[in-house]
Structure 1
Amino acid sequence: MRRTVLFLVTSFWAYGELAIATEFAQRMAGTGFRPLFLVPPSHRRLIANAGLDYQVMVPGAGKINRIQLQDIQHVHRPALVVLADFMNYDFCDRHYGLSRADLSIFDCPIGTFDNFSWGRPGAWLDTYGFKAKYEADISLDGLAFRLRPCPLNNPLDEMSGPDVHAYPLLESTVDVPVAQRADVRRELGLTRDRPVVLVTGATWQRMHQAYPRVVNFVDASHRMLERLLSRLLEHADVLAVGPQLVFHDRVPDGFYPLGPVEPERFRRLIQAVDLHISNNIVSVSLHRLALRGIPSVVLMNSLTLRNGRLRWEGTTDRPLTDFARQVVEGVDYLYPCRMFPVGWYHFLHSLLADNPFTDVVPHVEMFDEEAALATVLPLLGRGPERDRLTQARETYLGALRKLPDVDTVLRQVTAL
C-alpha cells in the first residue's frame, strides 16, 4: 500500500510554488508514495489537469479547513506533510484560518520546499527596496525537513545538514522539440523567416498598485522593456505571454500579445521560440526553458535613486543613453531588483554567488540600454554566445545528475 504525501498550497495568486510542488508530485509515480493536494479554489483546474488527487480549501472558513485537515489525517494518515510555500503558510490565517498549530493533527514529519536556502548568512529580505518588516515573522523552526529544488538553489552547495535535501527541480531537461516548429509558427501568424523572442510575465507581478512610488518604478521599467523590444523588433518577432505590459497605445508590427496561456498551449508554442526574456530570476518557466535548451536572459536592476542621488548598487557606474536618462528623470525612486517588481536584490545575492545557474542565464541591466541590446542580439542566432550558453547548460545538468531523485529523497525524509 502506497503512503500518502500531503502537499499544502496556500498561495492563491502565485503559481510558481504550485509548479514546484506538482513537478515533484508527478515524479512520485512508481514509488511507494502517492500525492494528495490541499489547494485554494484558484488552483483546482491546474491540479485536475495534472492528474493529481486534491481537495479544496474554503476561503474564510477556518473551522471547515481544520476539519479537512482532521479528515485527511483520519482517512489517509500521511507519511509526510509538505508546505508548498512556508513563507505564505505563516500568513494564511487571514485567508483560510489555518496556523502552524493546526498542523499538530498530523503524526508524521512536516517540512517544506526551501526554494531559496532560507537563513543564508548575510541574506536579508528587501521588498521594494526596503527591509521587509515581516521578515522576523518567517521561520522554519519546528519543521523537520527542507526540500531544496535546483535551480534556483545551488547544486554545488555543501553547506547543508541532515534535514536538507537538494534535488533537481525538473525531471525532463531534454531539448525542446522542433518537429512542429513550422506548424506552430503558422498557427501564431509568424509569416516571416525571422527569429522569435518570447517575453513572459505573471499576474502576481501587478500586485504593487498600493505603493505609488513603486508604480512609478514599474512604469519606468516597462518603458525600458518597451524600448528594448522596439529595437529587437528590427531583427525578430516577439511573443508576449501574460499580462500585456508594453505597447498599449500602438501594437507594432511583429509584436504578438498572447495574454495568459494554458500550460498545454505554452508547451506547444515554445517550439517556435529562439530566445526567452524574463524579469523574474525565480520563475519556474525561466528555469524550464533555459534547461531545455532555449537561450534565456533575465532582466534585473542595480540602478538606485533615493533622495535625489542616482547610483549603481554593487557595480561600477554604467553610462545611460539619452532615452534611459529621460526615463530616470521622470521618477523619484528607483530600487535594486532581481525579482520584478518585489525586489529581492540583496536577499538573492548570496544565493546566486558562485551559483553555476548564473552561467546558464545571463543577467541584463534593464536601464543599461546599450549593454542589454549587446547581450541579447547575439543570442538570436547561432554563434559563440549561444555556444557558451549550451556548454554552461551541459555543465549545470551534469551537476544536477549527481543529486538524488524524488524517490530517494522521500525515503530519506521518511527515515527521519
Structure 2
Amino acid sequence: MTYIEVKGKIEQLKQQVEAQGGLNSEQLQKLYHKFRLECNYFSNSSEGNSLTKEEIRGLITGVVNVSNKPLQDLIEIKNHDEVLNEMLGDGLVEAHLSEKYIKQLHMRLMYAEDVESKQMLGQWKVKDNTVKTYKGDVYSYVAADEVKAEMKELLNRTNEAIDYILKGKKYAPHPIDVALNFHVEFLKISPFEKGNGILARMLSNQILIAFVYTPFWVTDTEAKAYEQYLADVMCYEGTKDDLFGLVAQQIMRSQQMIVDIQEGKSIEESEKFYNQIELMKRKLKEKEEEKSKVKSEEWLESVFAHSIRPLFTQVESKVQESFTELFDEIKGSYTLKSASNGGAMGFLGGGGSSEKEVDLDGSITWKGAEYLQATFSLKAFKLIEEAQPIELTLTCTFEELTYIVDLGNGTVYTKEYDQQLEETVVKAIGDAICEAIVKAIHAM
C-alpha cells in the first residue's frame, strides 16, 4: 500500500470505530495500557534503555520487579510513561508546539547524573552533533549556533499548518502529514545533545493524539527499515514516501487495535517465553556490538572525525592564541605511524612500520595505523636570545578495543571507539599543554 492508501485505510478504520459508538471505559483502559507498554518499551529501547517489556509492564501496573538495572533507565521509563499517560488521558491535548514547551518536555523525559549533563537538560545543544548512516557516511545535523533560528522556523511552519487544520481551510494538510513532517525536520536539526529520537517520537505522537489519531511505535523488526528510510530523506535527498508509508502503517496498526477491542478480539501478543527470548536477543545484540567495536579503518576514521581532529585543532589554536606574542614561530605538525608489510623485516616474518606527516584537513589512510601524534613547536622565545625551542607532543594510540590519548606527562585518557572525548576533557588537555609550555619557559 502507498502512503496515500494507508492514510485512506486509517480514515476508514476511524469511521468504523465511530459508527460502533467508540469504546467504553474498560476498553479504553485496556487500549491505553497497550499503547503505553509498546511506546514506552520500543521508543526507549531503541535509545539503549535496558528494561525489558515485562519489567516495563510491571512499572506501569505498579508491580515493580526490577533489579540490577541502571537508575537512569528506570527514571527515564517512569518519566516517559508519565508524559504519555497524560497525553492519552481524558484531557484536551494541545496540538501547537513552542520552544518553551519542547525544552520543558526534554527536562521531563531525560535524566542526567553529572553536573555538566544536568545543565544541558532542556537546553539547545552547544556543540555540533553527527550520526553515521547505514552507508557508513557521517552526517552532520544542523550546527549548534543555527538551532534557535531553525527551530523557530520549524515551529512556525508546524503551527501554521495546525491552524489551517483547526480553521478548516480548503488546502489544510492532513494531520498525519503535519506530524510526520515535523518528525523528520526535528531530527534533521536534532536540537539537543541527547534524546532527540525520543523527543521526535513523543512530539509527533502528541500532534497525532491532539487530532484524535493513534500513536505509532517502531518495533525491533521495523527499526532497520525506519533508520534507512530516515537516512535516505535526511542525508541522500530521498523522497519521504517510503518513510511516511512505514510510519503510517504503524499508525494504522494501533488504529486497528481499537477495532479489534470493539469486536472483542485480543490485542495482546502471546507473552509465553517472551521475556526469555527478549533477554537472549539483547545478549546477542550486546555481543555483536562488542565485536563491532574492534579497531578498524572505519572506527579510526570515526574517532578522528568526532574526537581526535577536534582535539588537535583546538589545542593548537589554544597554544597559538596564548603564546603567539612570545614566540616568533609556533607550529603544529602531525605524524601518523602505521604498520607496514614487506621489506626485509616483513619477509622474515617480523613487522615493519612507517611514519609520515599528515594534514588534518586532508585525506588520511588508516590501514595499519598505530598512533597519531601532534607535535607543538615553539621557536625563538622573544625574552631570551638564542633560547632553545620548546617541543611538546600529544599522542593518540590505537589499541585493539580502545584509543588512548597520552599527554606525555603520565596523564592518559582511554576511550572505547564508540565514545567521544567530552568537551571538558578537550579543555583540560589544552590547559595541560599550555601549563607544560609555561613550565618549559621557566626552566630556560
* TM bin (shorter chain): under 0.3
Q: Looking at CA atoms only, which structure, 1 or 2, has the larger radius of gyration? A: 2
TM-score (norm 1): 0.24
Structure possessing the higher relative contact order (Cα contacts under 8 Å, 6 or more residues apart): 1
TM-score (norm 2): 0.23
1 or 2, which has the higher helix percentage? 2
1 or 2, which has the higher strand percentage? 1
